[in-house]
Chain A
Amino acid sequence: MTQQTGVSAFRHDANRRTIVLMGLSVVLTHLLLLVSGAWFAFAWPAIGMSFIMLVLICERIGRLVPASQRNLYERSLALGFPTVVLSVWQLGGDLGLINRIWFPPPSEIGKALWSVTVNYDRFSETSLLGRPWLIPSAYQEGGFSGVGTLLSESHLLATVMRVFSGFVLGAIPGIFVGVVMGLNQTVRLMLDTTLSAVYVLPKIAIFPIVMLMFADPFGEGPKIVVVALSVFILMAINTMAGVRQIDPVFLMAGRNYGAGHWQMLRHVILPGAMPVIFAGLRIALGTAMIVVISVEFLRAKQGVGFMTFYYWEVLVPEKMYAGLVVVMAMGILFTATLYWLQKRLMPWRK
Protein backbone atom coordinates (compact mmCIF):
# COMPACT_ATOMS: atom_id res chain seq x y z
CA MET A 1 0.00 0.00 0.00
CA THR A 2 2.68 2.49 1.05
CA GLN A 3 4.78 1.36 -1.84
CA GLN A 4 1.96 2.04 -4.28
CA THR A 5 1.34 5.57 -3.05
CA GLY A 6 5.09 6.02 -3.24
CA VAL A 7 5.11 5.04 -6.89
CA SER A 8 2.21 7.29 -7.81
CA ALA A 9 3.74 10.21 -5.88
CA PHE A 10 6.93 9.64 -7.83
CA ARG A 11 4.96 9.69 -11.09
CA HIS A 12 3.23 12.92 -10.06
CA ASP A 13 6.58 14.56 -9.32
CA ALA A 14 7.96 13.38 -12.64
CA ASN A 15 4.90 14.80 -14.43
CA ARG A 16 5.26 18.15 -12.65
CA ARG A 17 8.92 18.36 -13.56
CA THR A 18 8.15 17.59 -17.20
CA ILE A 19 5.43 20.25 -17.32
CA VAL A 20 7.79 22.90 -15.91
CA LEU A 21 10.56 21.86 -18.31
CA MET A 22 8.26 21.98 -21.31
CA GLY A 23 6.93 25.41 -20.31
CA LEU A 24 10.47 26.70 -19.83
CA SER A 25 11.56 25.35 -23.21
CA VAL A 26 8.75 27.30 -24.94
CA VAL A 27 9.64 30.54 -23.16
CA LEU A 28 13.38 30.02 -23.77
CA THR A 29 12.89 29.38 -27.48
CA HIS A 30 11.02 32.64 -27.94
CA LEU A 31 13.52 34.56 -25.75
CA LEU A 32 16.51 33.20 -27.67
CA LEU A 33 14.88 34.10 -30.99
CA LEU A 34 14.08 37.62 -29.73
CA VAL A 35 17.58 38.24 -28.38
CA SER A 36 19.20 37.00 -31.57
CA GLY A 37 16.85 39.25 -33.57
CA ALA A 38 15.58 36.35 -35.67
CA TRP A 39 12.12 36.16 -34.09
CA PHE A 40 10.23 37.64 -37.04
CA ALA A 41 11.94 35.33 -39.50
CA PHE A 42 11.09 32.24 -37.46
CA ALA A 43 7.85 33.43 -35.84
CA TRP A 44 5.53 30.89 -37.52
CA PRO A 45 7.67 27.77 -36.87
CA ALA A 46 8.14 28.98 -33.28
CA ILE A 47 4.40 29.48 -32.82
CA GLY A 48 3.73 26.07 -34.36
CA MET A 49 6.21 24.44 -32.02
CA SER A 50 4.63 26.28 -29.07
CA PHE A 51 1.23 24.86 -29.98
CA ILE A 52 2.60 21.32 -30.05
CA MET A 53 4.22 21.89 -26.66
CA LEU A 54 0.92 23.30 -25.37
CA VAL A 55 -0.83 20.07 -26.33
CA LEU A 56 1.84 18.00 -24.57
CA ILE A 57 1.66 20.19 -21.46
CA CYS A 58 -2.16 19.98 -21.31
CA GLU A 59 -1.92 16.21 -21.74
CA ARG A 60 0.44 16.01 -18.74
CA ILE A 61 -1.81 18.30 -16.71
CA GLY A 62 -4.70 15.99 -17.56
CA ARG A 63 -2.87 13.12 -15.85
CA LEU A 64 -2.50 15.15 -12.65
CA VAL A 65 -6.07 16.48 -12.47
CA PRO A 66 -8.04 14.71 -9.69
CA ALA A 67 -11.40 13.22 -10.67
CA SER A 68 -13.27 15.94 -8.76
CA GLN A 69 -11.70 18.66 -10.92
CA ARG A 70 -12.08 16.75 -14.16
CA ASN A 71 -15.15 18.70 -15.34
CA LEU A 72 -13.40 22.06 -14.89
CA TYR A 73 -10.34 20.75 -16.74
CA GLU A 74 -12.41 19.56 -19.71
CA ARG A 75 -14.30 22.86 -19.94
CA SER A 76 -11.04 24.82 -19.76
CA LEU A 77 -9.63 22.83 -22.66
CA ALA A 78 -12.77 23.27 -24.77
CA LEU A 79 -12.97 27.03 -24.21
CA GLY A 80 -9.25 27.65 -23.71
CA PHE A 81 -8.12 26.45 -27.12
CA PRO A 82 -10.25 28.87 -29.21
CA THR A 83 -9.25 31.67 -26.82
CA VAL A 84 -5.56 30.92 -27.44
CA VAL A 85 -6.08 30.77 -31.22
CA LEU A 86 -7.93 34.11 -31.19
CA SER A 87 -5.20 35.68 -29.01
CA VAL A 88 -2.47 34.51 -31.40
CA TRP A 89 -4.47 35.90 -34.31
CA GLN A 90 -4.87 39.23 -32.48
CA LEU A 91 -1.17 39.41 -31.54
CA GLY A 92 -0.13 38.31 -35.02
CA GLY A 93 -2.16 41.17 -36.46
CA ASP A 94 -0.83 43.71 -33.96
CA LEU A 95 2.78 42.64 -34.56
CA GLY A 96 2.40 42.69 -38.33
CA LEU A 97 2.75 38.94 -38.83
CA ILE A 98 -0.71 38.79 -40.40
CA ASN A 99 -2.12 41.17 -43.04
CA ARG A 100 -4.68 43.24 -41.11
CA ILE A 101 -6.62 44.20 -44.23
CA TRP A 102 -7.55 40.74 -45.44
CA PHE A 103 -7.33 38.97 -42.09
CA PRO A 104 -8.50 41.62 -39.60
CA PRO A 105 -7.77 40.62 -35.98
CA PRO A 106 -10.65 39.62 -33.67
CA SER A 107 -10.83 43.10 -32.11
CA GLU A 108 -11.52 44.64 -35.53
CA ILE A 109 -14.11 41.98 -36.31
CA GLY A 110 -15.72 42.69 -32.95
CA LYS A 111 -15.93 46.38 -33.76
CA ALA A 112 -17.36 45.61 -37.20
CA LEU A 113 -19.94 43.30 -35.62
CA TRP A 114 -20.97 46.09 -33.27
CA SER A 115 -21.14 48.51 -36.16
CA VAL A 116 -23.38 46.34 -38.36
CA THR A 117 -25.58 45.68 -35.33
CA VAL A 118 -26.24 49.28 -34.33
CA ASN A 119 -26.06 50.95 -37.76
CA TYR A 120 -28.45 50.99 -40.67
CA ASP A 121 -26.91 50.47 -44.11
CA ARG A 122 -28.54 53.12 -46.29
CA PHE A 123 -27.34 51.64 -49.54
CA SER A 124 -28.72 48.09 -49.09
CA GLU A 125 -31.49 49.40 -46.76
CA THR A 126 -30.77 46.72 -44.17
CA SER A 127 -29.35 46.14 -40.70
CA LEU A 128 -28.25 43.00 -38.91
CA LEU A 129 -30.97 42.76 -36.27
CA GLY A 130 -33.52 45.23 -37.60
CA ARG A 131 -32.76 47.85 -34.92
CA PRO A 132 -35.08 46.46 -32.22
CA TRP A 133 -34.57 49.56 -30.07
CA LEU A 134 -36.68 51.47 -32.61
CA ILE A 135 -39.66 49.16 -32.10
CA PRO A 136 -41.50 51.52 -29.67
CA SER A 137 -41.29 54.53 -32.01
CA ALA A 138 -42.14 52.40 -35.05
CA TYR A 139 -45.18 51.11 -33.18
CA GLN A 140 -46.30 54.63 -32.33
CA GLU A 141 -46.00 55.70 -35.94
CA GLY A 142 -47.39 52.72 -37.84
CA GLY A 143 -48.68 50.17 -35.33
CA PHE A 144 -47.84 46.51 -35.91
CA SER A 145 -47.29 47.00 -39.63
CA GLY A 146 -44.76 49.69 -38.75
CA VAL A 147 -42.88 47.21 -36.56
CA GLY A 148 -43.10 44.68 -39.40
CA THR A 149 -41.57 47.14 -41.87
CA LEU A 150 -38.81 47.89 -39.40
CA LEU A 151 -37.98 44.22 -38.77
CA SER A 152 -38.13 43.37 -42.47
CA GLU A 153 -34.80 45.17 -42.83
CA SER A 154 -33.17 42.54 -40.55
CA HIS A 155 -30.60 40.17 -42.06
CA LEU A 156 -30.75 37.81 -39.11
CA LEU A 157 -34.52 37.55 -39.05
CA ALA A 158 -34.65 36.89 -42.81
CA THR A 159 -32.16 34.02 -42.55
CA VAL A 160 -33.76 32.56 -39.43
CA MET A 161 -37.19 32.61 -41.08
CA ARG A 162 -35.86 30.87 -44.21
CA VAL A 163 -34.03 28.19 -42.22
CA PHE A 164 -36.92 27.64 -39.84
CA SER A 165 -39.67 27.44 -42.46
CA GLY A 166 -37.54 25.31 -44.77
CA PHE A 167 -36.61 23.03 -41.88
CA VAL A 168 -40.18 22.47 -40.72
CA LEU A 169 -41.55 22.14 -44.28
CA GLY A 170 -38.85 19.61 -45.13
CA ALA A 171 -38.49 17.66 -41.90
CA ILE A 172 -42.14 16.75 -41.28
CA PRO A 173 -42.86 15.23 -44.73
CA GLY A 174 -39.34 13.77 -44.73
CA ILE A 175 -39.94 11.91 -41.48
CA PHE A 176 -43.33 10.75 -42.77
CA VAL A 177 -41.91 9.41 -46.06
CA GLY A 178 -39.00 7.85 -44.14
CA VAL A 179 -41.39 5.96 -41.86
CA VAL A 180 -43.34 4.65 -44.85
CA MET A 181 -40.11 3.64 -46.58
CA GLY A 182 -38.88 1.93 -43.42
CA LEU A 183 -42.05 -0.10 -43.04
CA ASN A 184 -43.07 -0.81 -46.62
CA GLN A 185 -40.69 -2.70 -48.86
CA THR A 186 -42.46 -1.71 -52.07
CA VAL A 187 -42.18 2.00 -51.40
CA ARG A 188 -38.60 1.54 -50.22
CA LEU A 189 -37.54 -0.28 -53.36
CA MET A 190 -39.23 2.33 -55.53
CA LEU A 191 -37.75 5.39 -53.81
CA ASP A 192 -34.37 4.29 -52.44
CA THR A 193 -32.30 4.66 -55.61
CA THR A 194 -34.00 7.90 -56.60
CA LEU A 195 -33.43 9.46 -53.20
CA SER A 196 -29.78 8.35 -53.15
CA ALA A 197 -29.31 10.02 -56.53
CA VAL A 198 -30.97 13.29 -55.50
CA TYR A 199 -29.19 13.17 -52.14
CA VAL A 200 -25.72 13.66 -53.64
CA LEU A 201 -26.93 16.43 -55.93
CA PRO A 202 -25.82 19.82 -54.55
CA LYS A 203 -29.14 21.49 -53.75
CA ILE A 204 -27.80 24.84 -54.86
CA ALA A 205 -27.52 23.36 -58.36
CA ILE A 206 -31.28 22.85 -58.56
CA PHE A 207 -32.02 26.33 -57.22
CA PRO A 208 -32.62 27.71 -60.77
CA ILE A 209 -35.20 24.97 -61.39
CA VAL A 210 -36.91 25.74 -58.10
CA MET A 211 -36.99 29.43 -59.07
CA LEU A 212 -38.80 28.54 -62.29
CA MET A 213 -41.58 26.90 -60.29
CA PHE A 214 -42.58 30.18 -58.66
CA ALA A 215 -44.45 33.17 -59.98
CA ASP A 216 -42.01 35.34 -58.07
CA PRO A 217 -38.65 33.64 -58.63
CA PHE A 218 -36.81 36.23 -56.51
CA GLY A 219 -39.16 36.03 -53.52
CA GLU A 220 -38.96 33.93 -50.39
CA GLY A 221 -40.70 30.90 -51.92
CA PRO A 222 -37.79 29.35 -53.88
CA LYS A 223 -35.33 30.02 -51.04
CA ILE A 224 -37.50 28.23 -48.49
CA VAL A 225 -38.32 25.38 -50.87
CA VAL A 226 -34.69 24.67 -51.72
CA VAL A 227 -33.89 24.44 -48.00
CA ALA A 228 -36.95 22.26 -47.43
CA LEU A 229 -35.93 19.96 -50.27
CA SER A 230 -32.47 19.28 -48.89
CA VAL A 231 -33.86 18.72 -45.39
CA PHE A 232 -36.60 16.46 -46.78
CA ILE A 233 -34.20 14.09 -48.54
CA LEU A 234 -31.88 13.82 -45.56
CA MET A 235 -34.75 13.20 -43.17
CA ALA A 236 -36.39 10.60 -45.43
CA ILE A 237 -33.11 8.65 -45.69
CA ASN A 238 -32.29 8.93 -41.99
CA THR A 239 -35.77 8.13 -40.74
CA MET A 240 -35.88 5.08 -42.99
CA ALA A 241 -32.60 3.89 -41.49
CA GLY A 242 -33.95 4.64 -38.01
CA VAL A 243 -37.11 2.62 -38.57
CA ARG A 244 -35.17 -0.26 -40.11
CA GLN A 245 -32.81 -0.54 -37.13
CA ILE A 246 -35.66 -1.01 -34.63
CA ASP A 247 -35.26 -4.46 -33.11
CA PRO A 248 -38.07 -6.58 -34.67
CA VAL A 249 -38.90 -7.91 -31.21
CA PHE A 250 -40.31 -4.45 -30.31
CA LEU A 251 -42.58 -4.56 -33.35
CA MET A 252 -43.70 -8.06 -32.39
CA ALA A 253 -44.31 -6.96 -28.80
CA GLY A 254 -46.35 -3.98 -30.01
CA ARG A 255 -48.48 -6.16 -32.25
CA ASN A 256 -48.89 -8.93 -29.67
CA TYR A 257 -50.10 -6.43 -27.06
CA GLY A 258 -52.80 -5.22 -29.42
CA ALA A 259 -51.42 -1.96 -30.85
CA GLY A 260 -53.25 -0.72 -33.95
CA HIS A 261 -51.51 1.10 -36.80
CA TRP A 262 -51.46 4.54 -35.19
CA GLN A 263 -50.61 3.15 -31.79
CA MET A 264 -47.68 1.26 -33.33
CA LEU A 265 -46.47 4.48 -34.94
CA ARG A 266 -46.81 6.54 -31.77
CA HIS A 267 -45.69 4.02 -29.15
CA VAL A 268 -43.16 1.84 -30.98
CA ILE A 269 -41.95 3.08 -34.36
CA LEU A 270 -41.41 6.80 -33.74
CA PRO A 271 -39.75 6.41 -30.33
CA GLY A 272 -37.72 3.47 -31.65
CA ALA A 273 -36.43 5.51 -34.57
CA MET A 274 -36.07 8.73 -32.57
CA PRO A 275 -32.30 8.53 -31.87
CA VAL A 276 -31.51 8.17 -35.58
CA ILE A 277 -34.11 10.82 -36.48
CA PHE A 278 -32.35 13.28 -34.19
CA ALA A 279 -28.94 12.41 -35.61
CA GLY A 280 -30.51 13.16 -39.00
CA LEU A 281 -31.94 16.47 -37.78
CA ARG A 282 -28.48 17.60 -36.71
CA ILE A 283 -27.01 16.82 -40.12
CA ALA A 284 -30.04 18.40 -41.82
CA LEU A 285 -29.52 21.54 -39.77
CA GLY A 286 -25.95 21.89 -41.06
CA THR A 287 -27.12 21.27 -44.62
CA ALA A 288 -29.95 23.81 -44.24
CA MET A 289 -27.45 26.45 -43.11
CA ILE A 290 -25.11 25.70 -46.04
CA VAL A 291 -27.99 25.90 -48.52
CA VAL A 292 -29.52 29.07 -47.10
CA ILE A 293 -26.21 30.93 -46.95
CA SER A 294 -25.31 29.86 -50.50
CA VAL A 295 -28.72 30.90 -51.80
CA GLU A 296 -28.30 34.26 -50.11
CA PHE A 297 -24.86 34.61 -51.72
CA LEU A 298 -26.48 33.95 -55.09
CA ARG A 299 -29.72 35.79 -55.12
CA ALA A 300 -31.12 37.74 -52.18
CA LYS A 301 -31.62 41.30 -51.07
CA GLN A 302 -31.04 40.49 -47.43
CA GLY A 303 -29.99 37.74 -45.08
CA VAL A 304 -26.79 36.96 -43.20
CA GLY A 305 -25.35 35.26 -46.31
CA PHE A 306 -26.23 38.30 -48.40
CA MET A 307 -24.60 40.58 -45.82
CA THR A 308 -21.40 38.52 -45.82
CA PHE A 309 -21.12 38.53 -49.60
CA TYR A 310 -22.20 42.18 -49.88
CA TYR A 311 -19.36 43.37 -47.62
CA TRP A 312 -16.94 41.23 -49.61
CA GLU A 313 -18.09 42.89 -52.83
CA VAL A 314 -17.83 46.41 -51.38
CA LEU A 315 -14.47 45.43 -49.83
CA VAL A 316 -15.12 45.82 -46.14
CA PRO A 317 -13.51 42.53 -45.02
CA GLU A 318 -14.00 43.01 -41.28
CA LYS A 319 -17.78 43.26 -41.82
CA MET A 320 -17.64 40.17 -44.00
CA TYR A 321 -15.99 38.36 -41.07
CA ALA A 322 -18.71 39.73 -38.81
CA GLY A 323 -21.22 37.98 -41.09
CA LEU A 324 -19.35 34.70 -40.70
CA VAL A 325 -19.36 35.12 -36.92
CA VAL A 326 -23.14 35.56 -37.01
CA VAL A 327 -23.47 32.36 -39.07
CA MET A 328 -21.41 30.46 -36.49
CA ALA A 329 -23.43 31.91 -33.62
CA MET A 330 -26.62 30.79 -35.39
CA GLY A 331 -25.16 27.31 -35.74
CA ILE A 332 -24.44 27.12 -32.01
CA LEU A 333 -27.89 28.45 -31.15
CA PHE A 334 -29.75 26.07 -33.47
CA THR A 335 -27.76 23.07 -32.28
CA ALA A 336 -28.47 23.99 -28.66
CA THR A 337 -32.19 24.25 -29.49
CA LEU A 338 -32.07 20.81 -31.07
CA TYR A 339 -30.37 19.38 -27.97
CA TRP A 340 -33.02 20.94 -25.79
CA LEU A 341 -35.74 19.43 -27.96
CA GLN A 342 -33.98 16.06 -27.88
CA LYS A 343 -33.92 16.11 -24.07
CA ARG A 344 -37.62 16.92 -23.96
CA LEU A 345 -38.62 14.28 -26.51
CA MET A 346 -36.26 11.49 -25.45
CA PRO A 347 -36.22 11.57 -21.64
CA TRP A 348 -35.16 7.91 -21.60
CA ARG A 349 -31.74 8.89 -22.90
CA LYS A 350 -29.51 10.75 -20.51
Chain B
Amino acid sequence: MDTPTVVRPKISAKHVGKIYDTADGPFVAVQDFSLDVAEGEFVCIVGPSGCGKSTFLRMAAGLESISSGSINIEAAPDSDKPANSVVFQEYAVFPWKTVIENVSFGLQMRGISEKERTQVARYWLDRVGLTKFANYYPHQISGGMKQRVSIIRALANDPEVLLMDEPLGALDAQTRVVLQEELLRIWEETRKTVLYITHSLEEAVLLGDRVVLMSAQPGGILDIYHIDLPRPRSFETTTLARFSEYRALIWEKLSAEVTRAMEMQE
Protein backbone atom coordinates (compact mmCIF):
# COMPACT_ATOMS: atom_id res chain seq x y z
CA MET B 1 0.00 0.00 0.00
CA ASP B 2 1.15 3.50 -0.79
CA THR B 3 1.95 4.91 2.62
CA PRO B 4 4.74 7.49 2.57
CA THR B 5 7.34 7.40 5.29
CA VAL B 6 6.79 10.49 7.44
CA VAL B 7 9.15 11.26 10.29
CA ARG B 8 6.61 12.43 12.83
CA PRO B 9 3.09 12.03 11.50
CA LYS B 10 0.57 14.43 12.98
CA ILE B 11 -2.18 11.85 12.79
CA SER B 12 -1.19 8.21 12.93
CA ALA B 13 -3.86 5.54 12.48
CA LYS B 14 -2.60 1.97 12.88
CA HIS B 15 -4.71 -1.04 11.86
CA VAL B 16 -7.89 0.65 13.02
CA GLY B 17 -10.99 -1.54 13.14
CA LYS B 18 -14.56 -0.90 14.19
CA ILE B 19 -17.01 -3.69 14.91
CA TYR B 20 -20.59 -2.96 15.89
CA ASP B 21 -22.39 -5.54 17.98
CA THR B 22 -25.80 -5.82 16.34
CA ALA B 23 -28.74 -8.15 16.96
CA ASP B 24 -27.76 -10.04 13.78
CA GLY B 25 -24.21 -10.56 15.03
CA PRO B 26 -21.07 -8.46 14.71
CA PHE B 27 -20.93 -5.93 11.86
CA VAL B 28 -17.51 -4.87 10.63
CA ALA B 29 -17.69 -1.17 9.69
CA VAL B 30 -13.97 -0.42 9.41
CA GLN B 31 -11.17 -2.92 8.98
CA ASP B 32 -7.39 -2.59 9.09
CA PHE B 33 -7.32 1.12 8.33
CA SER B 34 -3.79 2.54 8.50
CA LEU B 35 -3.01 6.12 7.55
CA ASP B 36 -0.37 8.67 8.47
CA VAL B 37 -1.05 12.36 7.97
CA ALA B 38 1.87 14.79 8.05
CA GLU B 39 1.85 18.11 9.85
CA GLY B 40 0.13 20.73 7.67
CA GLU B 41 -1.22 18.16 5.24
CA PHE B 42 -4.75 18.26 3.81
CA VAL B 43 -6.05 14.71 3.36
CA CYS B 44 -9.43 13.96 1.85
CA ILE B 45 -11.27 10.68 2.26
CA VAL B 46 -13.83 9.64 -0.36
CA GLY B 47 -15.80 6.46 -0.74
CA PRO B 48 -19.29 5.11 -1.35
CA SER B 49 -21.91 6.05 1.21
CA GLY B 50 -21.88 3.73 4.19
CA CYS B 51 -18.22 2.85 3.74
CA GLY B 52 -17.34 3.93 7.26
CA LYS B 53 -15.51 7.16 6.45
CA SER B 54 -17.55 9.15 8.98
CA THR B 55 -17.07 6.37 11.52
CA PHE B 56 -13.32 6.65 11.09
CA LEU B 57 -13.46 10.42 11.58
CA ARG B 58 -15.55 10.07 14.72
CA MET B 59 -13.07 7.55 16.07
CA ALA B 60 -10.24 9.99 15.35
CA ALA B 61 -12.23 12.66 17.17
CA GLY B 62 -12.68 10.41 20.18
CA LEU B 63 -16.47 10.48 19.77
CA GLU B 64 -16.64 6.76 19.12
CA SER B 65 -14.67 3.91 20.62
CA ILE B 66 -12.05 2.05 18.57
CA SER B 67 -12.49 -1.75 18.42
CA SER B 68 -8.91 -2.56 17.43
CA GLY B 69 -5.75 -0.71 16.49
CA SER B 70 -5.01 2.87 17.53
CA ILE B 71 -5.29 6.46 16.40
CA ASN B 72 -2.77 8.95 17.74
CA ILE B 73 -2.76 12.68 17.32
CA GLU B 74 0.67 14.17 17.97
CA ALA B 75 0.80 17.30 20.11
CA ALA B 76 3.69 19.44 21.30
CA PRO B 77 4.55 18.43 24.89
CA ASP B 78 3.76 21.82 26.46
CA SER B 79 0.77 22.58 24.23
CA ASP B 80 -2.59 23.35 25.81
CA LYS B 81 -4.36 23.24 22.45
CA PRO B 82 -7.20 20.76 22.04
CA ALA B 83 -6.11 17.71 20.02
CA ASN B 84 -8.90 18.03 17.49
CA SER B 85 -11.99 20.01 16.58
CA VAL B 86 -14.71 18.63 14.35
CA VAL B 87 -16.68 20.56 11.74
CA PHE B 88 -20.00 18.72 11.48
CA GLN B 89 -22.70 19.06 8.88
CA GLU B 90 -24.77 22.24 8.71
CA TYR B 91 -27.00 21.71 11.70
CA ALA B 92 -24.30 21.32 14.31
CA VAL B 93 -24.34 25.09 14.92
CA PHE B 94 -26.25 25.51 18.20
CA PRO B 95 -29.56 27.19 17.34
CA TRP B 96 -29.83 28.54 20.90
CA LYS B 97 -26.56 30.46 20.77
CA THR B 98 -25.81 33.59 18.80
CA VAL B 99 -23.21 33.51 16.03
CA ILE B 100 -20.48 34.89 18.29
CA GLU B 101 -21.42 32.59 21.17
CA ASN B 102 -21.16 29.65 18.78
CA VAL B 103 -17.75 30.73 17.52
CA SER B 104 -16.36 31.18 21.03
CA PHE B 105 -17.99 27.98 22.35
CA GLY B 106 -14.84 25.86 22.44
CA LEU B 107 -12.89 28.62 24.21
CA GLN B 108 -15.70 29.07 26.72
CA MET B 109 -15.72 25.35 27.52
CA ARG B 110 -11.98 25.51 28.14
CA GLY B 111 -12.47 28.34 30.62
CA ILE B 112 -10.97 31.19 28.57
CA SER B 113 -12.09 34.60 29.86
CA GLU B 114 -15.01 36.26 28.14
CA LYS B 115 -12.87 39.20 27.02
CA GLU B 116 -10.27 37.01 25.36
CA ARG B 117 -12.70 34.63 23.69
CA THR B 118 -14.78 37.50 22.30
CA GLN B 119 -11.62 38.96 20.85
CA VAL B 120 -10.68 35.68 19.16
CA ALA B 121 -14.24 35.17 17.90
CA ARG B 122 -14.38 38.70 16.49
CA TYR B 123 -11.10 38.11 14.66
CA TRP B 124 -12.48 35.01 12.95
CA LEU B 125 -15.88 36.56 12.23
CA ASP B 126 -14.04 39.39 10.54
CA ARG B 127 -12.02 36.99 8.39
CA VAL B 128 -15.11 35.38 6.91
CA GLY B 129 -17.11 38.60 6.72
CA LEU B 130 -19.64 37.78 9.43
CA THR B 131 -18.91 40.64 11.84
CA LYS B 132 -22.28 42.19 11.09
CA PHE B 133 -24.06 38.99 12.10
CA ALA B 134 -22.26 38.46 15.42
CA ASN B 135 -25.43 38.78 17.49
CA TYR B 136 -27.77 36.98 15.10
CA TYR B 137 -29.22 33.57 15.89
CA PRO B 138 -28.54 30.76 13.38
CA HIS B 139 -32.16 30.68 12.17
CA GLN B 140 -31.71 34.27 11.00
CA ILE B 141 -28.77 33.53 8.67
CA SER B 142 -28.37 31.43 5.52
CA GLY B 143 -27.08 27.86 5.29
CA GLY B 144 -23.76 29.04 3.84
CA MET B 145 -23.27 31.46 6.73
CA LYS B 146 -24.13 28.76 9.26
CA GLN B 147 -21.46 26.52 7.81
CA ARG B 148 -18.95 29.40 7.92
CA VAL B 149 -19.80 29.76 11.62
CA SER B 150 -19.25 26.04 12.09
CA ILE B 151 -15.85 26.19 10.37
CA ILE B 152 -14.56 29.19 12.30
CA ARG B 153 -15.92 27.71 15.54
CA ALA B 154 -13.38 24.95 14.96
CA LEU B 155 -10.60 27.33 13.89
CA ALA B 156 -11.15 29.68 16.83
CA ASN B 157 -10.57 26.65 19.07
CA ASP B 158 -7.09 26.40 17.47
CA PRO B 159 -6.85 22.58 17.52
CA GLU B 160 -3.84 20.46 16.62
CA VAL B 161 -5.83 18.96 13.76
CA LEU B 162 -9.05 19.87 12.05
CA LEU B 163 -11.49 17.02 11.34
CA MET B 164 -14.18 17.86 8.80
CA ASP B 165 -17.13 15.55 8.24
CA GLU B 166 -18.79 16.39 4.90
CA PRO B 167 -18.96 20.03 5.99
CA LEU B 168 -20.35 21.33 2.69
CA GLY B 169 -22.59 18.37 1.92
CA ALA B 170 -25.86 20.10 2.78
CA LEU B 171 -25.23 23.25 0.74
CA ASP B 172 -26.42 24.13 -2.76
CA ALA B 173 -23.89 23.93 -5.61
CA GLN B 174 -23.10 27.67 -5.85
CA THR B 175 -22.67 28.24 -2.12
CA ARG B 176 -20.53 25.15 -2.04
CA VAL B 177 -18.07 26.54 -4.61
CA VAL B 178 -17.83 29.83 -2.71
CA LEU B 179 -17.12 28.04 0.55
CA GLN B 180 -14.57 25.73 -1.05
CA GLU B 181 -12.62 28.78 -2.19
CA GLU B 182 -12.92 30.36 1.23
CA LEU B 183 -11.72 27.16 2.85
CA LEU B 184 -8.71 27.04 0.51
CA ARG B 185 -7.86 30.66 1.32
CA ILE B 186 -8.06 30.12 5.07
CA TRP B 187 -6.11 26.86 4.90
CA GLU B 188 -3.41 28.55 2.85
CA GLU B 189 -3.01 31.09 5.68
CA THR B 190 -3.19 28.71 8.63
CA ARG B 191 -1.78 25.47 7.17
CA LYS B 192 -3.67 23.35 9.70
CA THR B 193 -3.51 19.59 9.45
CA VAL B 194 -6.88 18.60 7.97
CA LEU B 195 -8.71 15.32 7.63
CA TYR B 196 -11.62 15.97 5.32
CA ILE B 197 -14.50 13.57 4.61
CA THR B 198 -16.53 14.22 1.48
CA HIS B 199 -18.74 12.37 -0.95
CA SER B 200 -17.74 14.72 -3.76
CA LEU B 201 -14.74 13.54 -5.76
CA GLU B 202 -14.24 17.01 -7.32
CA GLU B 203 -14.08 18.53 -3.87
CA ALA B 204 -11.54 15.96 -2.71
CA VAL B 205 -9.25 16.55 -5.71
CA LEU B 206 -9.62 20.33 -5.44
CA LEU B 207 -8.82 20.54 -1.73
CA GLY B 208 -6.56 17.64 -0.89
CA ASP B 209 -2.84 17.00 -0.96
CA ARG B 210 -3.81 13.36 -0.93
CA VAL B 211 -7.08 11.60 -1.66
CA VAL B 212 -7.79 8.39 0.22
CA LEU B 213 -10.24 6.11 -1.56
CA MET B 214 -12.16 3.82 0.76
CA SER B 215 -13.83 0.50 0.02
CA ALA B 216 -17.23 -0.38 1.38
CA GLN B 217 -18.25 -3.07 3.87
CA PRO B 218 -15.88 -3.46 5.49
CA GLY B 219 -14.43 0.02 5.15
CA GLY B 220 -10.73 -0.04 4.36
CA ILE B 221 -8.23 1.80 2.22
CA LEU B 222 -8.53 0.91 -1.46
CA ASP B 223 -5.99 3.39 -2.78
CA ILE B 224 -4.23 6.64 -2.00
CA TYR B 225 -3.58 9.31 -4.65
CA HIS B 226 -1.11 12.18 -4.39
CA ILE B 227 -2.71 15.22 -5.94
CA ASP B 228 0.16 17.14 -7.47
CA LEU B 229 -1.70 20.32 -8.38
CA PRO B 230 -0.12 23.75 -7.80
CA ARG B 231 -1.05 25.76 -4.71
CA PRO B 232 -2.63 28.14 -3.97
CA ARG B 233 -5.63 26.52 -5.58
CA SER B 234 -8.96 28.08 -6.43
CA PHE B 235 -11.96 27.37 -8.62
CA GLU B 236 -9.63 27.94 -11.59
CA THR B 237 -7.81 24.76 -10.62
CA THR B 238 -10.82 22.72 -11.72
CA THR B 239 -10.25 23.86 -15.31
CA LEU B 240 -6.73 22.40 -15.44
CA ALA B 241 -6.23 19.32 -17.60
CA ARG B 242 -4.44 17.57 -14.75
CA PHE B 243 -7.45 18.10 -12.51
CA SER B 244 -9.65 16.23 -14.98
CA GLU B 245 -7.08 13.46 -15.28
CA TYR B 246 -7.00 12.92 -11.52
CA ARG B 247 -10.76 12.97 -11.38
CA ALA B 248 -11.07 10.42 -14.19
CA LEU B 249 -8.37 8.22 -12.69
CA ILE B 250 -9.99 8.08 -9.25
CA TRP B 251 -13.54 7.93 -10.59
CA GLU B 252 -12.78 4.73 -12.49
CA LYS B 253 -12.04 2.94 -9.26
CA LEU B 254 -14.62 4.78 -7.15
CA SER B 255 -17.49 4.06 -9.54
CA ALA B 256 -16.69 0.35 -9.49
CA GLU B 257 -16.72 0.49 -5.68
CA VAL B 258 -20.00 2.44 -5.61
CA THR B 259 -21.60 -0.17 -7.87
CA ARG B 260 -20.31 -2.97 -5.67
CA ALA B 261 -21.61 -1.25 -2.53
CA MET B 262 -25.04 -0.76 -4.09
CA GLU B 263 -25.25 -4.40 -5.10
CA MET B 264 -24.31 -5.46 -1.59
CA GLN B 265 -27.11 -3.35 -0.12
CA GLU B 266 -29.63 -5.12 -2.32
Contact = CB atoms under 8 A, between A and B. Distances in A.
Interface residues of A, number: 21
B110 interface: yes
Given A257-B105, A346-B96, A249 B88 contact: yes
Main SS of the interface on chain A? helix
Given A252-B88, A348-B137, A348-B139, A257 B95 contact: no
Given A267-B105, A348-B95, A258 B110 contact: yes
B251 interface: no
Interface in B62-94: 62-63, 82, 84-86, 88-89, 91-92, 94
Contact of B109 (A249, A250, A258, A274): A258
B106 interface: yes
Nearest to A255: B63
Nearest to A346: B96
B92 A253 contact: yes
Given A272-B96, A348-B96, A348-B137, A249 B106 contact: no
B160 to A, nearest CB: 13
Interface residues of B, number: 27
A259 B58 CA distance: 17
B157 interface: yes
A272 B96 CA distance: 8
B179 interface: no
Contacts of A272: 96
B59 to A, nearest CB: 12
Contacts of A247: 91
A346 B96 CA distance: 7
Interface in A301-350: 346-348
A348 B136 CA distance: 9
Contacts of B137: 347-348
Contacts of B19: none
Nearest to B110: A258
5 smallest beta-carbon distances between A and B, as pairs: A271-B96, A257-B106, A258-B109, A348-B137, A249-B92
Given A256-B61, A256-B84, 15 more contacts: A249-B88, A249-B89, A252-B63, A252-B86, A256-B85, A258-B106, A258-B110, A260-B109, A263-B109, A267-B94, A267-B105, A267-B108, A271-B96, A274-B96, A348-B95
23 contacts: A247-B91, A250-B92, A252-B63, A252-B86, A253-B92, A254-B109, A256-B85, A256-B86, A257-B82, A257-B85, A257-B105, A257-B109, A257-B153, A258-B109, A260-B109, A267-B108, A268-B94, A271-B96, A348-B95, A348-B97, A348-B98, A348-B137, A348-B138
